[in-house]
Chain A
């Protein structure tokens, strides 16, 4: 039993890497455009802190946050996105496009779970530019931060994993919506805009909104909590947010499967 489990995880990873390799090979057919797009992705990502930089440039600030601290928060956020987007967020576009074109059926006739098929056929190589952008910003901001205790790093890494879990849950909701809301490529925007709350310190929001992004949709885990952990700032409600993100993931999985099932009962 146990052996079967490990071998299936091994299988999963093997297929994932195969899908990744294939997608890279496909994209390499237009090398020039690929590198161009990747660089542009990176540059666009680096404009993320634009508003923040301008605020601090004009002598203003977010109460309680230094410039480099906010940048570190945004670097964390972009890093999390930089991992999420190339490696699994592609499933959203993949699904929207396939459902519209009618090629979603091709995923269903494969002997693998629908979720796995949606992910392995969706590695988004040019979004690696986002990852590079996130890394650049993160380490740039880190330069201005004094040496941090190892414990802070430990907690940071743990919360970063939760950040990715939250991202994945977001992806599941979008993908699920993509199955049923045929042809609406703007679904993506709804969630992308919601994630914008995660780009700024939690403390700038009113109490009600702080509760929402901690307890209802754990957006605060995307950047605010991990960065606070790293900087040793206050992080009330972090356990709640962690629990919430697990709940969010489970709900996302349920929603995705529900919608996938919907697809197999409707159709026509």
Chain B
């Protein structure tokens, strides 16, 4: 059952060009050059309840515009959005009571007072009953090991501790959907791990997450489905497994041999890097060259000292998707 329905969502901005030099600025007072930017071009997708979606795209692709529309901050030029029966920008106040958001770069905590006080302020803003509030907070604080932290002034906390508190801040009112924007930016490995664990845990309990990030590790650890936007359009929308297969059935191979390598120039092999005449990295297209065929040939021609065969890195696939011209 889908909890979010987005249909032909379009957003255009009108901007005016203003020159940098004095003369251009004077000119812009009289004649303003209109420039229409299409941030989203009829984007459609659906998200089911309890999903954990990675929402990816290069800078300026329309990612944050989509996110703003879905959170009711921005309204679109055309198209429709229905989330939990609400139209975000129309029933904003009722709607946002049911969602949460964590922005890695915009803190909702008040800097000079303990997170606990910020939580309490949110309690009255969201009108959360005392009992529910206590219970939810206790659970989350324990899960994130924050017992000793929530009473310290926020400014004294580490970035990781702060981010954990941001999650509590965003989820105290038990939202059905949580939007995450770069939630692990700047964090160390341990804090990242803890936060990912927390997200998965909450997801198991039924919360739907929409994750926008540039951190592909986050995506690999968390997302089961991925939507990629570029130039205001969806260029990929499918499962994580499908994403891995997106560039075809390819492997990433690294080989070191005792004697110089030969005959790498054959169909099905795309050389990425030649470290020396005995060491190379390349992509192997299994549809053109079978794996055992390749190993057999290699074995005949050289003495292998080391070899690794892995799935194509997600980064390579994403780079390909981002790089495509539409």
Contact = CB atoms under 8 A, between A and B. Distances in A.
Asked whether any CB of A lies within 8 Å of a CB of B in the complex, the reply is yes
Interface of A: 11, 14-15, 18-19, 22, 25-27, 29-30, 101-103, 105-106, 108-113, 117, 120, 264-268
A29 B112 contact: yes
B146 to A, nearest CB: 19
Contacts of A264: 73-75, 89
B92 interface: yes
A14 B93 contact: no
Nearest to B94: A111
B97 A111 contact: yes
Given A25-B113, A29-B112, A112 B39 contact: no
26 contacts: A14-B124, A15-B125, A18-B124, A19-B121, A22-B110, A22-B120, A25-B112, A25-B117, A26-B112, A101-B106, A102-B106, A105-B103, A106-B103, A106-B106, A108-B92, A108-B96, A109-B73, A109-B96, A109-B101, A110-B126, A111-B94, A111-B97, A265-B74, A267-B13, A267-B65, A268-B39
Contact of B93 (A15, A26, A27, A111): A111
Interface string B85-102: 000010011101101010
A265 B75 contact: yes
Contacts of B126: 110-111
Contacts of A19: 121
Given A19-B121, A109-B96, A103 B13 contact: no
Contact of B96 (A102, A103, A111): A111
Which residue among B65, B72, B73, B127 has the maximum number of chain A CB atoms within 10 Å of its CB? Answer: B73
Given A108-B73, A264-B75, A266-B13, A29 B153 contact: yes
B74 A22 contact: no
Leading 8 A-B pairs by shortest Cβ distance: A111-B97, A29-B112, A26-B112, A108-B73, A18-B124, A25-B113, A267-B74, A15-B124
Interface of B is mostly: mixed
Contacts of A105: 68, 71, 73, 103, 106
A86 to B, nearest CB: 18
Contacts of B125: 15, 110-112, 117, 120
Interface in B14-59: 15, 37, 39
Contacts of A26: 110-113
B108 interface: yes
A155 to B, nearest CB: 38
Nearest to B11: A268
Nearest to B107: A103
A114 B120 CA distance: 20
Nearest to B110: A26
Contacts of A29: 112-113, 153, 155
Interface of B: 13, 15, 37, 39, 65, 68, 71-75, 89, 92-94, 96-97, 99, 101, 103, 106-108, 110-113, 117-118, 120-121, 124-127, 153, 155
A111 to B, nearest CB: 4
A111 B111 CA distance: 22
A103 B106 contact: yes
Contacts of B37: 268
B71 A268 contact: no
Nearest to A267: B74
Given A15-B124, A22-B121, A267-B68, A106 B108 contact: yes
A265 B13 CA distance: 9
Contacts of A110: 96, 125-126
A106 B106 CA distance: 8
A106 B126 CA distance: 14
Nearest to A104: B73
B273 to A, nearest CB: 39
Which residue among A14, A105, A112 has the maximum number of chain B CB atoms within 10 Å of its CB? Answer: A105
A109 B99 contact: yes
Nearest to A27: B112
A14 B126 CA distance: 12
Contacts of B111: 26
A141 to B, nearest CB: 38
Given A14-B124, A15-B125, A29-B153, A108 B72 contact: yes
Nearest to A110: B125
A124 to B, nearest CB: 15
A266 B103 CA distance: 20
Nearest to A19: B121
Given A105-B106, A106-B103, A268-B39, A22 B117 contact: yes
A26 B110 CA distance: 8
A110 B96 CA distance: 6
Contacts of A27: 112
Contact of A267 (B73, B94, B110, B120): B73
A145 to B, nearest CB: 43
A77 B266 CA distance: 87
Which residue among A15, A19, A108, A117 has the maximum number of chain B CB atoms within 10 Å of its CB? Answer: A108
Given A18-B120, A108-B96, 11 more contacts: A11-B127, A15-B125, A25-B112, A26-B113, A27-B112, A29-B153, A111-B96, A111-B126, A264-B75, A267-B73, A267-B74
Contacts of B93: 111-113
Given A11-B127, A29-B153, A109 B106 contact: no
Which residue among A18, A103, A265, A267 has the maximum number of chain B CB atoms within 10 Å of its CB? Answer: A267
Contacts of B71: 105, 108-109
Nearest to B95: A111
